[in-house]
Amino acid sequence: MVQLPLCVHRTHRQPPDQEQAVWPGIPELTAPVREEAVIPGQFTYHRPSTVQEAVALLASHGEEARPLAGGHSLIPMMKLRMAAPEHLVDLGGVAELKGIREDAGHIVIGAITTQHEVIGSELLASKLPILRETSLVIADPQIRYVGTIGGNVANGDPGNDMPALMQCLDAGYVLVGPSGERHVAAREFYEAAYFTALSPDEIVAAIRIPVPAAGHGYAYEKLKRKVGDYATAAAAVMLTRSGHQITSCAIGLTNVADTPLFAEEAGRILTGSSMEADVVTRAVAAAEAITNPASDGRGPAEYRTRMAGVMLRRALARAYDRAAA
């Protein structure tokens, strides 16, 4: 444990109804900006080496503690003093949280596996190539060396790319807390911006993704203003085909609501179709209908909704082409 020579500063997480409209993403500074700063308050830094130790630390410090993975969301928020945990529990030293393996029809990815490691994994390249495709449009290489897949899914930031993908893939999260392990489906995990099913004394230990059928089609289409930006809108598509006909289709949408979106209705409309233009248009309309994006520097809500539709259209076309007929 290292005591950094900083000073005490407390804040509490706000309940969802008090969240400012600046979410998602690290803001755009809408004001009043009273606590404008880039220097974090004081915190105590912990570096446990086992999951058990990490969970015990979180349990003993309660709401004042936060687990730290890659830090690419939490640290900027601390510098802006939008988060001010008194205890940071760095999971970087917990070896059992790292790694990618196959286990009984599932791909299991340890929470602190970096985006860079996801991109480099041969197992994922052969079984789940959409993970690589998505990771490659997250931030930039420097951030991907440090940023983790667990942090990306656990933070509850709707700007992150992995949550909608995990919903599309019907992934499950393995949560570990003082009373043991539990599994929550990605589609059930997100409640509001930065609010998830995760308790303050729990960590996401791993992600379990059912191995999709061989020959599936996939695509992640992301519109962003520049490298490093969150999506203006993005769509993840997984589908299977039999001849011209789509036999299954799952769709996730990124950053067009205060949570990731699983576009169930759109997927249902497409299933059984052969990508006829009118069906695609209906599915896109169904997907657009569930969006509720913020108006921000990326564009007004109307634009972002429409871009979710455009990204979905393009992802569908690419996934359909990629799928074995």
Please give the residue ranges that form the binding site for other proteins (CB under 8 A). 5-9, 25-42, 81, 140, 223, 225-229, 232, 296-300, 303, 306-307, 310
CB 305, min distance to other proteins, A: 12
- Cross-strand partners of 180: 177
Instruction: Kindly tell me which of 81 and 127 has the beta carbon lying closer to other proteins.
Output: 81
CB 286, min distance to other proteins, A: 16
CB 20, min distance to other proteins, A: 11
CB 256, min distance to other proteins, A: 14
- Give strand ranges (E) for the chain: 2-3, 44-46, 65-68, 87-90, 100-103, 106-110, 172-177, 180-185, 190-192, 195-196, 203-210, 217-223, 233-242, 245-254, 261-262
Instruction: Kindly tell me which of 84 and 162 has the beta carbon lying closer to other proteins.
Output: 84
CA distance 314 to 57: 45
Cα dist. 169→84, 142, 186, 237 in Å?
Answer: 33, 27, 9, 9
- Cross-strand partners of 87: 44, 65
Instruction: Kindly tell me which of 134 and 305 has the beta carbon lying closer to other proteins.
Output: 305
Q: Which value, in Å, is the radius of gyration of the alpha carbons in the chain?
A: 20
CA distance 286 to 309: 9
State the distance between the two ends of the chain, measured CA to CA, in whole angstroms.
Answer: 56
C-alpha dihedral, 290 to 218 to 136 to 257, nearest 10°: 0
CB 49, min distance to other proteins, A: 28
Instruction: Kindly tell me which of 29 and 123 has the beta carbon lying closer to other proteins.
Output: 29
- What would the two tokens of residue 74 be? 């939490």
Instruction: Kindly tell me which of 74 and 97 has the beta carbon lying closer to other proteins.
Output: 74
CB 134, min distance to other proteins, A: 17
Instruction: Kindly tell me which of 12 and 226 has the beta carbon lying closer to other proteins.
Output: 226
